[in-house]
Amino acid sequence: MSTISTPAHGHDHAHDHAHDHPDGWRRWLFATNHKDIGTLYLLFSFVMLLTGGLLAMLIRLELFEPGLQFFKPEIFNEFTTMHGIIMVFGAIMPAFVGFANWMIPLQVGASDMAFARMNNFSFWLLPVAALLLVSSFLVPGGAPSGGWTIYAPLSIQMGPGMDLGIFALHLMGASSIMGSINIIVTILNMRAPGMTLMKMPMFCWTWLITAYLLITVMPVLAGAITMVLTDRHFGTTFFSAAGGGDPVMFQHIFWFFGHPEVYIMILPAFGIVSHVVPTFARKRLFGYSSMVYATSSIAILSFIVWAHHMFTTGMPVTGQLFFMYATMLIAVPTGVKIFNWVATMWKGSMTFETPMLFAVGFIFVFTMGGFTGLILAMTPIDIQLQDTYYVVAHFHYVLVAGSLFALFSGFYYWSPKWTGFMYNEIRGKIHFWASMIFFNVTFFPMHFLGLAGMPRRYADYATQFTDFNMVASIGAFGFGLTQVYFLFCVVLPAYRGGQKAADKPWEGAEGLEWTTPSPAPFHTFETPPQVH
């Protein structure tokens, strides 16, 4: 088209071009470009991270010493519940979707995501949902306060804040489903010529599998919360024993969603780490195909372990045994992945720039979270530790040191490609070491609190738990301030400008980025011609 000098069909091409590429606020509101939408997801998730983090700070403020200092137990329970929901559905998941939007088209050689308008819609559902969620603090009866799992029958007896929460979760679920359809169709239909599935970058693989998980389990959550809604307002008794329902059924339905959900929050992290480690070890990823099979195995097994969250609900011993062994089985493919990352680093020419620090930190601390998970998988131990701080320590080791550290690693790794500017390496290292130290100061003592019997979601506690709680609270404030430092000293300066990034900011051993299993690095694939 660019060779035609006269406007075809009496059109003004400049006008068309301006119409296709709006600027100012229109560029973001009507965004259909995968990079713009990826940026929107990342900004949204960071705002939610700070919101959820503020709630965590308030929780740790109250728990700094025994007795009720600042908040009534009701408000404290609202904080714990909203912290969980915001972090899971508002911070971690949208951040990974942001990475998917940015990187998947670039990695498979597609011009954009498959459904650009739907991509825009699936993003803009999220700020609406977030506003609904946060506004629940302002209605009579306050925000939902039964934990992020919103167990019936408690969730049926709450005020209108619960309805806002249910509506917000529906919107976020719809957003996830649309985003997943987009990712699957982009990966399966829009790969560059010659890129077979087994030549795809690992990040694309982990997201392909994650997207299938999301499409499978999000409707299950929708069903559970819709039944809660009808129990609340329309006289049904799905979860009310008085009307022939069963409150334990809610837990089965919720955890059939909830357990695959935790893998949805870690598989893309595995993908990111599988890119960062080979680059900075200057070696190919060890055992690419075994990584793909391990990821698929984790996804399949995630569907048959849900009731390990329910060992204390009175299930028969046969059921307990099945869920115990099935859960321990997931340690095998997970162990394969850890082994492959370590084998990739083995005898590599490693350098420790910030992305690599976060990736190695991820492997170390995520492995600890995995081991505590293995301990909790054992029924007799879990019955003792159910709903104690040991469980809180376990899943924060997986979700903070797991998902969040991988997100940081991915940001430092790909942001030069996104912005054209290098972040400040010294500040990046400060961010890593402060995060790593404060994270462990916060959550490691919680293992001891849990083993000593301190229950979770309590605003007050017995005096013998004081010291570890004080340590944990100090660590939490340090960790929170570190993320504010990350915003003001790393992210904003990188977006404002600074040192220009090289074409290949992470030069490999022979001038090659070892990020794909195929000999050609992903950025050499030409974009397939567009059919009009």
Question: What pLDDT does 494 receive?
Answer: 81
3-state SS, 396-464, equals: HHHHHHHHHHHHHHHHHHHHHHHHCECCCHHHHHHHHHHHHHHHHHHHHHHHHHHHCCCECCCCCCCHH
Confidence of residue 20 (pLDDT cuts 50, 70, 90): low
pLDDT digits (tens, 9 = 90+) for 224-246: 999 999 999 999 999 999 999 99
| pTM score of the predicted model | 0.91
Q: Is the pLDDT of residue 493 over 60?
A: yes
**Could you give the count of Cα atoms lying within 13 Å of 83 in the half-sphere of its Cβ?**
18
pLDDT on residue 501: 84
At residue 167, does pLDDT exceed 70?
A: yes
What's residue 519's pLDDT? 41
Residue-level pLDDT at 196: 93
Query: Looking at residue 4, what is its pLDDT?
Result: 40
Mean pLDDT of 390-404: 96
Lowest mean pLDDT among 8-17, 58-67, 330-339, 374-383: 8-17
Average confidence (pLDDT) over 261-266: 96
Mean pLDDT, all residues of the chain? 90
Q: For 274-318, give the DSSP string.
A: HHHHHHHHTSPPTTHHHHHHHHHHHHHHGGG-GGGGGTTS---HH
At residue 7, the pLDDT reads: 42
% of the chain with per-residue pLDDT over 70: 92
Query: Looking at the predicted structure, is the pLDDT value of residue 525 above 70?
Result: no
pLDDT (tens digit per residue) in 425-434: 999 999 999 9
Asked if the model's pLDDT at residue 531 lies above 90, the reply is no
Map tokens 């985003």 to a residue: 179
Q: What is the pLDDT of residues 78-87, one digit of tens each?
A: 999 999 999 9
Give the model confidence (pLDDT) of 433-448 as tens digits: 999 999 999 999 999 9
Residues tagged active-site = 83, 112, 148, 175-176, 259, 261, 263, 274, 308-309, 334, 337, 456
pLDDT of the residue at 23: 83
